[in-house]
Chain A
């Protein structure tokens, strides 16, 4: 058996034990429900048009908004830091310790300033995601191989051309890693803020279900969170694989042309 099939066996054993423990009544139904019912509850949520419109859509759109803002602003700030050494000296110590500080501690402050709603939630998503993009942009641009810059000089590329045709393609894989992280962080930031305090969203649904003793709905919501994040993770992995492969193929193709 391959490691992958062993993984599936382990997951199946885990789900089976949850199912058995809950069905045999070893744990109260107020604490745990059978795995099959959790999955059915998640399915019912997905079929519920009101849930999709009022809870899931706000969560996803806020996460996408936070992700887009964090990616664009993070890339711009990263370029500035790379370009201006004084900015790098001034900001570097804060960037390195940034993720040690709980960003969510700012959420109550944001609520007092912006009120309870999408702005505060999106702000946490942005704050949580942006530094991953900044750090990876700087790292990617800084580690461009000197030989590529030599080529740019010998072709007498101007600054703009050098940036667009040499720096950007060479740094892209690293920057893409940052963008990938930003999507995951934006989702975590949004779901966590909704969970702590909000009036709608998937995180809010789970918190509300817990507070209202609706254990089945709570587990259904948690299964949905798993499904969404694992699905996005899988898709991003595939996309990254395709992009890296494309980059390699292109490089190989150019190499072949040079040989010809």
Chain B
């Protein structure tokens, strides 16, 4: 029950601010809700949402695949991992948005540059967490792989991935958030469609109701998959559930 306090308090405070200051740009909860409902009936708005979701799906797929493959490769080659780690950690910590113009120069202003940038923005946690997970695999597993003369792909699918599933799920969650943040920021800077573009458009029209509607949608898109990944993490951490699952197999 207490968890509902923050949203309720926020809505009440918003309504009070709207009523007392009378400032047009604050909109009101009711107006924002109406705007959301109206927007969802507007084909151009829906197209923009679909446009962003498509970019998000592509970018997340790209950063997941690239991050896992690179992370496992580095994890299986500790010398390279040691040499590259400082560079990767530094890249993870810098404001990557300032690199977006480089993507624009090389890929143009269509979907490609935004997907490439969002994937780049999200790939680092994937890569680093998978790399650490792979480095931490018990050496005896890899010895077994050598004894069976498994190929690289066999080693990847049969030994490494099952061994690192728990860290893989954490990596998926963080990577998803950063990919989405990268996409939204890229759309805010330059785009002809998408949620970020709609935000900037509504801002230039001082259409605050629409801005609130968009922020709400962005929060939903960010939070729902995060919640799913967290549930998956909890299941993995709960040995009782794991035991039940293994019996089921």
Contacts and interface: CB of A to CB of B under 8 A. Distances in A.
A214 to B, nearest CB: 11
B188 A112 contact: no
A107 B188 CA distance: 9
Given A104-B188, A105-B199, A233-B90, A187 B222 contact: no
B226 interface: yes
Contacts of B212: 109
Nearest to A1: B83
Nearest to B94: A229
B6 A102 contact: no
Interface string B77-92: 0010011101100100
A109 to B, nearest CB: 5
Nearest to A106: B215
Interface string B212-249: 10110011001100110010000000000000000000
A74 interface: no
A255 B36 CA distance: 63
Contacts of A210: 101, 104-105
Nearest to B97: A192
Contact of A89 (B2, B25, B93, B176): B2
Nearest to A209: B101
Interface residues of B, number: 54
Contacts of B35: none
B84 to A, nearest CB: 7
B83 A191 contact: no
B98 interface: yes
Nearest to B188: A196
Interface stretch (A150-158, A167-175, A219-227): A219-227
B74 interface: no
A31 B107 CA distance: 10
B200 A102 contact: no
Interface stretch (A5-13, A44-52, A129-137): A5-13
Nearest to A229: B94
Given A90-B2, A196-B189, A112 B25 contact: yes
Secondary structure class of chain B's binding surface, majority of residues: helix
A94 to B, nearest CB: 6
Interface string A1-29: 00110110111000000000000000000
A3 B6 contact: no
A184 interface: yes
A97 B227 contact: yes
Contact of B86 (A7, A105, A111): A7
Contacts of A207: 101, 189
B204 to A, nearest CB: 9
B159 interface: no
Contact of B3 (A89, A101, A229): A89
A188 interface: yes
A117 B55 CA distance: 30
Interface in B1-57: 2-3, 5-6, 23, 25-26
Contacts of A103: 181
Contact of B218 (A3, A11, A101, A226): A101
Given A108-B200, A203-B98, 13 more contacts: A6-B79, A90-B6, A100-B176, A105-B196, A105-B214, A187-B95, A191-B95, A197-B200, A203-B97, A206-B101, A210-B104, A229-B95, A230-B94
